[in-house]
Copies of this chain bind each other. A is one copy, B any other.
C-alpha cells in the first residue's frame, strides 16, 4: 500500500468517524435525556471535531477489516466503537490542557476548549464526552451482540481509567515533580509502565475492539493484541524522539527542562541512536506479527510505519 493510498484510506475513515461524532452531538435529546445546553454542545464539538489524525478510529476500522467487516456493511455500525474511543481520547486532551494540568492554550492550531470557552465549561465538556463514549459503545446500532458490547464497555473503562490512561496521566504529573515530594528519577520499567498506561492502553483498546467487532478467534486476537502493544510503544518512542530532536535544535534548553522535571524518556535513558534502532525494531516486529494475515494487513502495516515516521 502506498503512502497516498493509506492517506486516502485514513482520511476516509477519519471523515466517517467525525460524521458519527457530529451526528451524536447534533441529535435531538434522546430517550432518558431532557435537553442539551447549547454552550456545552459547542464546547464538546470544539473538543472533538476540530481535526487530529483520528489514528484510533483508523486502528479500530482497519483491524475489523481484517475479518471482512467494513464501514456500512449492514452488520452493525463499527464506527460507533471508533467514535466512542475518539471521544475518550479527546476528553483526555480537553482535561489535560486545563490550567491545573498542562496549561496549554493551543491545540491543533486552535484555542484549547478552556481558552475558547472557560475552565468550567471545559471540565464539563470533558466529562460529557467521556460519558458520551459509553453511550455510543452501548448503542445497539453498533455491535449487535449485547454480550460483546458489554465486554467493550469493560475494556474501554479499564483502558481509560485509574489503571490505564487516567492513571498514566497521574504518574506523568508525579514524574514532573508536581506534588509535594520531589520526584525520584524514573527507571526504564517505570517509564514503560507510565507510557503503556498514558497512551498505550487506548491504542491497544483500538485493536482489541476491532478484533472483537470482527469476531476474531482467540489466537488472532492475541496476535493482534501484540500488534496493538507494539504500535503503542512505537507511538511513544516516536514522540520522545521528536522531543529530543527539538531539544537539540534549541541548544539543550528543553533537555535541561526535562531533567529538571525529573522526567525520563527512553531516549534520555538510552540516547537518540539507540532509540531510533529500537523504533525500527518495533515496526519490524509489528510487520512480523501481521504476516499471517498477508495482504489483508497492509493497512495495519502502513499505520505502524506511519506512526514511527509521523512528523507530529
Q: A100 and B120: CB pair below 8 A? A: yes
Q: B130 and A131: CB pair below 8 A? A: yes
Expressed in whole angstroms, the minimum distance between the Cβ of A101 and any Cβ of chain B is: 5
Chain B: which residue is nearest A43 at the CB level? Answer: B170
Q: B123 and A174: CB pair below 8 A? A: no
Residue A310 is within 8 A (CB to CB) of chain B in the complex: no
Residue A39 is within 8 A (CB to CB) of chain B in the complex: yes
Residue A29 is within 8 A (CB to CB) of chain B in the complex: yes
Expressed in whole angstroms, the minimum distance between the Cβ of A55 and any Cβ of chain B is: 20
Per the CB 8 Å criterion, the residue count for chain A at the interface is 67
Picked from B32, B130, B155, the residue with its CB within 8 Å of the CB of A127 is B130
A197 proximity list for chain B (CB < 8 A): 34-35
Expressed in whole angstroms, the minimum distance between the Cβ of A164 and any Cβ of chain B is: 6
Q: B170 and A37: CB pair below 8 A? A: yes
User: A residues 237-270 with Cβ under 8 Å of B?
Assistant: none
Q: A134 and B157: CB pair below 8 A? A: yes
Q: B100 and A170: CB pair below 8 A? A: no
A151 proximity list for chain B (CB < 8 A): 138
Q: B131 and A34: CB pair below 8 A? A: no
Expressed in whole angstroms, the minimum distance between the Cβ of A47 and any Cβ of chain B is: 12
User: A residues 108-135 with Cβ under 8 Å of B?
Assistant: 118-121, 123-124, 126-128, 130-132, 134-135
Q: A130-B131, A146-B147, A170-B121 are in contact. Are A36 and B162 (CB under 8 A)?
A: yes
Expressed in whole angstroms, the minimum distance between the Cβ of A133 and any Cβ of chain B is: 8
Tell me the bound Cα distance from A159 to B140 in angstroms.
18
Tell me the bound Cα distance from A118 to B153 in angstroms.
30
Q: A131-B130, A146-B146, A153-B134 are in contact. Are A163 and B120 (CB under 8 A)?
A: no
Q: B40 and A162: CB pair below 8 A? A: yes
A121 proximity list for chain B (CB < 8 A): 170, 173, 179
Q: B127 and A163: CB pair below 8 A? A: no
Q: A37-B170, A146-B150, A174-B37 are in contact. Are A162 and B44 (CB under 8 A)?
A: yes
Expressed in whole angstroms, the minimum distance between the Cβ of A156 and any Cβ of chain B is: 8
A135 proximity list for chain B (CB < 8 A): 153-154, 157-158, 161
Residue A219 is within 8 A (CB to CB) of chain B in the complex: no
A31 proximity list for chain B (CB < 8 A): 158
Expressed in whole angstroms, the minimum distance between the Cβ of A224 and any Cβ of chain B is: 15
Residue A41 is within 8 A (CB to CB) of chain B in the complex: yes
Picked from B100, B118, B132, the residue with its CB within 8 Å of the CB of A119 is B100
Expressed in whole angstroms, the minimum distance between the Cβ of A144 and any Cβ of chain B is: 11
Expressed in whole angstroms, the minimum distance between the Cβ of A191 and any Cβ of chain B is: 13
Picked from B124, B154, B193, the residue with its CB within 8 Å of the CB of A138 is B154
Residue A178 is within 8 A (CB to CB) of chain B in the complex: yes
Residue A196 is within 8 A (CB to CB) of chain B in the complex: yes
Q: Which residues of A contact B (CB under 8 A)?
A: 29-37, 39-41, 44, 91, 95, 98, 100-101, 118-121, 123-124, 126-128, 130-132, 134-135, 137-140, 146-147, 149-151, 153-164, 166-171, 173-174, 178-179, 193, 196-197, 201
